[in-house]
Amino acid sequence: MAVDNAKIAAAKERLKDHPGGQNLKMITNSEKAKEYQRRSVESRKRNKERVQDLRTFWKDFDRAGLGLEADQNVKGVDVIEFLMKKAFMDEDFELAGMYAEKLAQYQTPKLASQQVTNTNIDLKDLSDEEFQAELKRLEEEDSKKNSE
């Protein structure tokens, strides 16, 4: 199939008038045209599959009772848990592990911290009465903490 040079020249002129035409490539080789067409078909198929996967995802999401209607109170933890379960069902264990790690931060209680106050008292500076009073106060504080 021969390519008419006049048609190619006319197409190049139209490209100049087209917004962004300087970024467009002329395809004069039929083999390249077939290759680009094949790529386009593959890309459309992938996009259709992605749209279908997204529809399936939202159906699963609604079936799990996590729809995004205004009357539902869906928390971020619920979404992460759903995504983790879906990753397990899809046998994507690496992704499921990542979701589990994020979920664990919110579901497991954090260790309670305790405030520790150290007071250094030089016994040489205290009289016997002051020493006995301080010792009694510390013993009372310690017994209160142990009883809680």
pLDDT of residue 109: 65
If you average pLDDT over residues 90-112, what whole number do you get?
82
Geometric angle at alpha carbon 133, from 132 and 138, rounded to 5°: 100
pLDDT of residue 94: 92
- In terms of average pLDDT, the best of 70-84, 91-105, 112-126, 130-144 is 91-105
Q: Using pLDDT thresholds of 50, 70 and 90, give the confidence band for residue 37.
A: very high
Running DSSP on this structure, what letter comes out for residue 65? T
The DSSP element (H or E) to which 73 belongs, if any, is none
> Per-residue pLDDT for 43 more than 90?
yes
